[in-house]
Structure 1
Amino acid sequence: MGLASSIKPGADADAASRARRRTVRERLNDREARRLIVGVVATLLGGIFWGFSGTSASYLFAHYQIDTIWLLSIRQLLAGAMFMVVIVLFDRARFIQLLKNPRNLATMAVFTAFGVFGNSFFYLLAIRLTNAGTATVMQCLQLVIIMVYTCIVTHRLPRRRELAGVVLAFAGAFLIATGGDPTTLVIPPAGLAVGLISAIGAACMSIVPTKILPIYGSSIVTGSAMFVSGLVISAFVRPWENVPAFDAPGWLALAILIVVGSFLAYNLYMQGVKDIGSVRASLIGTVEPVSATVTSALVLGTVFAPTDLIGFALIIAMVFLTV
């Protein structure tokens, strides 16, 4: 009896310790599960909202006398200003640190010119010359460019799945451009050209700022680049002097483009990258061309041929193989 009483307190203590550890693990697992759910939802919404931006731009081009460069200037200026408000309120110290570093400012200048401006301008131009779904899918070809760049920099050959992704990408682009008939182009040659240039710009957005993103964060790098490009373009375009005659639907489409399709889409997507990682976010982000295609068909009545849809599917499959 005395022996049993001497063992029992220790056993109870061990059981209590195991229970506490189990409770801590369960809490951590619950927290991780909630984080993953939030990340997936944020990434999904970010991709969907990016698709909205393409459809909004397409609607504005179709119904109003609006220049591509005017739309770009007002979008970059206002969305960039929203980013700057967030930066000044919550991340001022790192932004000031960036302004004091000439080398990183030089990187920012290249990123702003060839990444943010190059991608945004040619993407809007591709929408104008083709449609939102086609322009958004063609922009996904950036992953092929990034893959080739990575192979060159790391001195390695493409892996088999990467080569398969390249084949799918070219097959998808071929179907979209020709409808399966190599003797004809079903989209304007200029639309094909600017769509490919927008993919180059999108690749620059991923490649150029790789060294400064970990230092300053994505909001500062991309947000300030967007705002600066908006200021520079607006100095020449003066968008406030020739505002199109928008009615209520026009102002709504512009607001969706700026607030939902630019500011919110980017913030939500980057929250997803933070919570679930860039690979998962890239895969979920393939909802963007789907969103652009579906909303373009529903809102604008855009008709896509079967070869277009097959081409879209091949390029989206390429994303899964190359990320």
Structure 2
Amino acid sequence: MNRQKGIFLVITGAAFWGIGGTVAQKLFQQFEMDVDWLVTTRLLIAGILLLAVQFFRKDRSQILGVWKTRKTAIQLILFGLLGMLGVQYTYMASIKYGNAAVATLLQYLAPVMIIVYLIFRKKTVLTRRDLLTVSLALVGCFFLLTNGSISQLSVPALAIVWGVLSGIALAFYTLYAVPLLKQYDSLVIVGWAMIIGGSALSFIHPPWQIDFNSLPLEASLYLIFVIIFGTMIAFWFYIESLQSLLPKESSLLGSIEPLAAVLTTVFWLKEPFGFFQWMGTACIIGMILLLALNKKSVSTTSTPPKNKEPLRVS
């Protein structure tokens, strides 16, 4: 039963992530919601809720304990500003100028960027699997962004730029978080990172600067979904799934996220998606599955070490 519960949690959480991006697209396109305001509000509320989960369900001493040493505090601030805020803002901007499907798939190029980075830093060697992974990513991107036509892009250039920047930010986010996760629960690190990122962006667009009276009920419900279900509950469910599943299994099932983003973008928002774009999507999802299947389990116990808890950000 615990294993079935874990599978349900990770699938539900991953689906919420993917659908959350599509709902954000709806807010941008139909209700002209400001990207700065949405990212600020989403980060602040979700961050507070994640720390609340830590307070009531796990080791609450870690919430303030992470600030006790100067080195850790500086790392957390940098992670919040360059990692969390960087990923969230670029991802949402890519959705605004393009669509949730393309933004999510471009963000998932982060593992390939990490592979290339580690090879150039001579921290790993190029393997056949790496070549296959990179090839799938490149072919997938070509089909996704051009729909098979070399002469023109099928996605706005700004959406591509923000999407690639989102992948770069996610690569940094993933690598930089490792030392912090060796010491503290991921709910603490991500919760504080969200609050730090949201607080910084508040200087550009304070969350209280919006006319809620002019916001339609439909838009309010979409906003609640993005913040609560698409961010807080999605991450919480994913972390909870690790209590009964191995990290490799959670990562594999978590690949439902881009599929959920593509399906809801095409069938709910009626975004045009050509044959070659579907081929590109298949290549990128294949790359994700290849990477997930290649992750070696670090433990056969139900609870993995802190430094092996996967971080999710969408």
- TM-score (ref. length: structure 2): 0.87
1:137 deviates by 1.1
Residue in 2 aligned with 1:251?
Answer: 220
Q: 1:264 aligns with which of 233, 237, 244?
A: 233
Matched residues in 2 for 1:142 and 1:279: separation? 17
Q: Does residue 268 of structure 2 align to residue 278 of structure 1?
A: no
Deviations for 1:280-310, whole angstroms, at most 9, x for unmatched residues?
Answer: 2221111101111112223212221111111
- Give the share of equivalent positions with the same residue, in percent: 29
Matched residues in 1 for 2:59 and 2:117: separation? 32
Matched residues in 2 for 1:254 and 1:237: separation? 17
Q: Does residue 86 of structure 2 align to residue 106 of structure 1?
A: no
Matched residues in 1 for 2:264 and 2:282: separation? 17
Q: Does residue 23 of structure 2 align to residue 56 of structure 1?
A: yes
Kindly name which structure, 1 or 2, has the bigger radius of gyration based on alpha carbons. Answer: 1
Q: Does residue 144 of structure 2 align to residue 159 of structure 1?
A: no
8 Å CA contact retained: 2:51, 2:63:
no
Q: Which shifted more, 151-160 or 312-321?
A: 151-160
Q: 2:186 aligns with which of 212, 218, 228?
A: 218
SS at match of 2:202: helix
Matched residues in 2 for 1:271 and 1:148: separation? 31
Matches within 5 A, 1:109-124: 109-124=77-92
Matched residues in 1 for 2:208 and 2:122: separation? 47
8 Å CA contact retained: 2:98, 2:156:
yes
8 Å CA contact retained: 1:144, 1:322:
no
Matched residues in 1 for 2:240 and 2:52: separation? 18
Matched residues in 2 for 1:321 and 1:247: separation? 43
8 Å CA contact retained: 1:118, 1:201:
yes
Q: Does residue 276 of structure 2 align to residue 307 of structure 1?
A: yes
8 Å CA contact retained: 2:76, 2:189:
yes
8 Å CA contact retained: 2:84, 2:194:
yes
Matches within 5 A, 1:282-297: 282-297=251-266
Residue in 1 aligned with 2:306?
Answer: none
Output the amino acid matched with 2:231: S
If each structure's helix is expressed as a fraction of its own residues, which one has the higher value?
1
CA 1:149–1:38 in 2, change beyond 3 Å: closer, same or farther?
A: farther
8 Å CA contact retained: 2:81, 2:196:
no
Structure 1 alignment gaps of length 5 or more: 1-33
Residue in 2 aligned with 1:191?
Answer: 159
SS at match of 2:244: helix
Matched residues in 2 for 1:52 and 1:243: separation? 26
8 Å CA contact retained: 1:139, 1:195:
yes
Residue in 1 aligned with 2:307?
Answer: none
Q: 2:116 aligns with which of 132, 148, 152?
A: 148
- TM-score (ref. length: structure 1): 0.85
1:152 deviates by 4.8
Give the superposed CA RMSD: 1.6
Deviations for 1:80-106, whole angstroms, at most 9, x for unmatched residues?
Answer: 121232234443211222110111111
SS at match of 2:208: helix
Q: Does residue 14 of structure 2 align to residue 47 of structure 1?
A: yes
Q: Which shifted more, 47-56 or 196-205?
A: 196-205
Matched residues in 2 for 1:273 and 1:138: separation? 26
Q: 1:237 aligns with which of 205, 219, 236?
A: 205
Matched residues in 1 for 2:117 and 2:245: separation? 25
Q: Which shifted more, 74-83 or 165-174?
A: 74-83
Matched residues in 2 for 1:231 and 1:45: separation? 29
Q: 1:175 aligns with which of 139, 143, 157?
A: 143
